[in-house]
Structure formats: structure tokens, C-alpha cells
Structure 1
Amino acid sequence: MANFNTHLNVAALLTGVSSASLVAAGHVELNTAIWLWFLGTIGGLLPDIDSDNSTSLDTIFNIFAFTVIIFIMRYISGDDFRDLSFLEVIAVPVVTYGLMKYGLRAIFERLTVHRGSCHSLLFLVLCGLATTQIISSVDSINSSNADMIAWLSGGFIFLGGLIHLTLDEVYSVDLRNIKIKRSFGTALKIADFDNILLTLAMVTAVGALWYLTPEITSTIERLSDWSMFNLF
């Protein structure tokens, strides 16, 4: 299978070209394109979070933990809370990170196996819809483009993950000796049917998220129009 650098570089390249195309077509602004590029690159590492010793797991976990800490600090420092002391400002991030590292991450590592449920299209759909739902709830996004930005955010997470799975399958074919390795077929799959309970839970979560996500028709219509695309 492809290594960390290959996944990172190829995902960054292809999602970068994709986000640049959206700018050239007038669908998004440059700042939004950079955000989508970031999400696509992260998506390119996402399937390897089921590997307990992978660089992808460390990278994505640290980004996720940092994001959670920012949301918590923003929430507790809002108008409904009193001013925080120095020790509280230090303690909240440290405790949050500790709970995630030694609690949430440990549970996740116990429940998952490498090239299991996380190496599936179902997992990518789940992550994409979850991202769409989270972004759609951010109040600071321009209301006229909020739904499209939310769907594009989820779409780029899915795209990056799909690039990862495709690379793993390509690397399962030894072109020099014209043979297929035993790992072929374990990366790009619809779902992990060896773990039925987890798969059913993911299907249920996908159904719930799809019900909660914003309207998509207008986004499809806007993204279908490439008449303004400027190549040069």
C-alpha cells in the first residue's frame, strides 16, 4: 500500500487542482478554496486512522483534538460564562486533550482494525456527511453560500478519502512482475461486512445525518454550471 507521504502529496495535489477549478469557475472564493484544499488533504489521510501506529492517526487526532479544544474554549468564554482564570485557561485544554488521548483514542483503537471499516466507502460517506452537518451549523458563513460551502466541505473530505483508497488499491498491483498482491480488494470496498454491528451502526448514522443535512438541490444546480470557467 502507499506510504504516508504518497497519500499526503497525491491528495494535496488532486484536491488542490479541484479547489482551484472551483475558483476559476466562480463557484467559490479563494479563501474557501484553501479551506476545501485543507479538508481534501486531511481526507487523504483519514482511512489510515484505523492503524494504531500510523502517522496519519497521530496527525488527524491532533488536528481533531485541537479543533475540539478551540470549540470548547470559545463556548466557555462566551457571554454566558464568567471570565476565566489563568489556571482554568491552561487546565481546560490539558484535561480535554488528556481525555481524548487516553479515553476516546484508546476506545477507537480497540474498536477498529487496520483496513477494516475505515477503509470503506461507507466510512467516507459518514465522514463527509458529518463534516457537512458541522459546517452548516457555523453561523459566520455567508448565508447565501452556506449550504454549498457545507456540501463542498463534506465532498472534499470524501474526495480525499477516495483518493487514499484508490492509491492503496493501485499499490496492491505489482506492475513489474504483473501480479496482484494479497492486499488487493481490502482497501476500496463498500463496507466492512466482517463487522456487521459496526457497519449497521454506520449505516444508521449515515441515514440520520442525511436527514439533518441542508438542502442539496440548489448546490447541485450551481455546481453544474461551468460556463464561467476561465482556463487562462
Structure 2
Amino acid sequence: MANFKTHLTGGFAVSGVLGLITYKAGLVDAQQFLMCVLAGTVGGLLPDIDSDNSTPIKMGFDFVSLATAFALVIHWRSELSLVSMILLWLAGYGFVRYGVFAIFTRLTVHRGIIHSVPYMLVLALGLTCLNFYIFDIPAIISWFYGSFLLLGSLVHLGLDEAYSVDLLNRRLKRSSGTAMKFYQDSQRYYYLGLYTILLIFIFISPPFEPFFEKLTDPITWWVLKDEILPQVLMRNI
């Protein structure tokens, strides 16, 4: 399978190019463009969070542990002494970084249910709903963020499948078919729960029609063509 650097570069490159196109077409502003690229890059690393020793899982748990520790201290700052705050910070960090991490790694298997298309769809829709309902971000922009997260994760899964093909010996490696999957019979009950969650997210997700209409509006892409075509013609003269 592809390594961390390849996944990071692939997710960033694809989301960066498509983000620039989206930005140039006027679909997002500068800040939203950066958030789309960030979402796509993070998505390019997400499928490997089920690997106990992978860089994404270590970075992710370090970030979540620090965020949890600081959130606890900020929440209880007015009721605790300095020493108590330090102890609370250490307890919060240690609980997430070592306790939750140990449980998570025991419950997950590399290239298991997390390393699948429906799981990435759940995460993408979850991000879309989070932005729309919690952060009060417009539906169209929320869908852009979720779509870029999904895009980056699909780049990751596609790269892993591509690396499972040995072109020199013209054969498929044992890992072929384990990356971009929709179902695994050995985890049928987990997949049943996963698809149930996916249906729930589809049902509660923000309106999709405005996002789809914006993407398929010919005027959007005519404006982009008017920007690019003259530059191409000038270079050929």
C-alpha cells in the first residue's frame, strides 16, 4: 500500500487543484478554499486511522488529547487551583492519549471497516452536518467541505488499490481489493450498523439541491471558461 507521504501528497494535490478550480469559478471565497483543501488533505489520511502504528492515528490522537486537556482546564478554570488545573490537564491528556487510544486500537483492525467507502461517506456526511447544524455554515459550503473530505479519502483508497498491483510481475498482491471496499462478509453486522448510520445521515443532511444546482449551473463554468480560454489561446499564438 502507499505510504504516509504518498497519501499526504495525493490528498493535497487533488484537493488543491480542484479547490483552485472551485475558487476561480467563484463557488467559494479564499477562506473557504483553504478549508476545502484542508478537508481534502485530512481526508487523504483518514482511512489509515485504523492502523495502530500509522502516523495519522498518532497525530490525530495527539491533537484530540491536547484539545481535550485544554477544554477541561478552560471549562473548570474558575473552580480549581493552579495545581488542580495542572493535574486535570495531565489526567485529561493521559486518559485520551493512552486510555482511549488503547481501547481504539484493540477494537480496530487495519484495513477493516474504517478502511472502506461507506465509512468515509459517514465521516463526510458527518462533517457536512456538523458544519451546517453546529457551526451554522450555509448548506452549499457545508457540502463543499464534506465533499472534499470524501474526495481526499477516495484518493487514499484509490492509491492503496493502485499499489496493490505489481505491474512488473503482472500480478495482484494479496492486499488487492482490501482498500476500496463496500462490504466484508466477516464484518457483516458492523457493516449493517454502518449503513444504518449512513442512512440516518442522508436523512438529516442539509438540503443537497442548492449545492447540486450550483455545481451544474452552466453560467458558473462559462465564467471559468472565459477566464482560462483566452490565456490558452494567447500562449498558442
Q: TM-score, normalised by structure 2?
A: 0.84
Q: In structure 2, list runs of 5 or more residues that go unmatched.
A: 232-237
Match of 1:6 in 2: 6
Query: Which of 1 and 2 has greater Rg?
Result: 2
Which whole-Å CA distance do the structure 1 matches of 2:71 and 2:148 have between them?
A: 22
Give, as a single letter, the amino acid of the residue that structure 1 aligns with 2:105.
Answer: E
- Shift of the 67–211 alpha-carbon distance from structure 1 to 2, 3 Å rule, reads farther
Distance 1:13 1:189, change over 3 A: same
Question: More helix per residue: 1 or 2?
Answer: 2
The amino acid of 2:7's aligned partner reads H
Partner of 1:59: 59
**Hey, what does 1:188 align to over in structure 2?**
180
Structure 2 equivalent of residue 96 of structure 1: 92
Paired residue type of 1:174: D
Mapping of residues 1-232 of structure 1, within 5 Å? 1-66=1-66, 76=75, 86-87=82-83, 90-139=86-135, 141=137, 146-225=138-217, 226-227=220-221, 228-229=223-224, 230-231=227-228
| Seq. identity, % | 36
For the Cα contact (< 8 Å) 1:43–1:161, is it kept in 2?
yes
Deviation per CA, 1:69-126, whole angstroms, max 9, x where unpaired? 676677x38xxx9577645654554433322223332222111111111111111111
CA distance in 2, matches of 1:222, 1:84: 51
Say if 2:117 and 2:154, in contact at 8 Å, map to a contact too: yes
Q: CA RMSD in A?
A: 2.4
Separation in structure 1 between the aligned mates of residue 29 and residue 84 of structure 2, nearest angstrom: 38
Q: Deviations over 1:124-178 (max 9, x none)?
A: 111111111111134464xxxx111211111111111100010011011111222
Contact 1:120 1:192 in 2 (8 A): no
